[in-house]
Amino acid sequence: MTDKVSQVAVTLLGKSHQFSCSEGQEQALVDAVTLLNDRVDEMKRRDTVRTDQNALLMAALHLCHEYQALLQERQSVQQSGQQLVARLSEHLEDK
């Protein structure tokens, strides 16, 4: 069985682009483009970023950094949960 694909038109850096995505994921793609456009605009407001390409790169780097931080936080929460389950299991075994 093949996944159905949708075509979504979005605007990125002021230019129209057509992307494919899995059916049902259209809004997620639009939301991702909106987030990226917002970050690019934020980078362009900084004095040190002068071109669209540099703003796009900086936005992508910031988003990747935030993603890595979330992954690390998730891993820490999972480890804490595992430790809690282990302690609870020990406590229940002692009774």
pLDDT at 46: 83
Which residue from 38, 34, 36 is spatially nearest to 67, judged by alpha carbons?
A: 36
pLDDT at 49: 84
**pLDDT tens sequence across 15-62:** 999 999 999 999 999 999 999 999 999 999 887 888 999 999 999 999
| SS3 (DSSP) at 44 | helix
pLDDT at 1: 47
Q: Which residue has the tokens 């129209």?
A: 16
| SS3 (DSSP) at 20 | strand
pTM for the full model? 0.76
pLDDT at 2: 55
